[in-house]
Amino acid sequence: MSAEGKGAELFNANCALCHGRKGDLGMNGAKDLGLSSLTRVEMIAMVTNGKGAMMPYKNVLTPKQIEAVVDHVRTLRKAG
């Protein structure tokens, strides 16, 4: 499976419950990921350490898996 496919699979398994498959669900206060202006490094830190109601994933996903999820989330950004 490609890195992009793995990132989407991990996102759907771990993040879609609150963020939705397109990143715009907004359950439990989740942000619309399509509107995010965070850098890749900032996103990696947020997924790793969590923020607010979002749990940290540092003990759930490997650093490579977190990077794959972030790379997938960056494809959900709306053109603007």
Residue 78 is predicted with a pLDDT of 83
pLDDT tens-digit series, residues 48-75: 999 999 999 999 999 999 999 999 999 9
Residue 5 is predicted with a pLDDT of 85
Residue 1 is predicted with a pLDDT of 79
Residue 41 is predicted with a pLDDT of 98
Residue 4 is predicted with a pLDDT of 67
Cβ-based neighbours of 55, under 8 Å, separated by 6 or more: none
Distance in angstroms (rounded) separating the CA atoms of residues 46 and 76: 17
Specify the residue for token string 């650093």: 63
CB 68 within 8 A of CB 3: yes
pTM value? 0.91
**Sequential DSSP letters for 18-57:** HH-TTS---GGG---GGG----HHHHHHHHHH-BTTBPP-
Specify the residue for token string 């900032």: 42
pLDDT tens-digit series, residues 7-55: 999 999 999 999 999 999 999 999 999 999 999 999 999 999 999 999 9
CB 14 within 8 A of CB 57: yes
Q: Going from the N-terminus, what domains does the chain have, and what CATH number goes with each?
A: 3-75 (1.10.760.10)
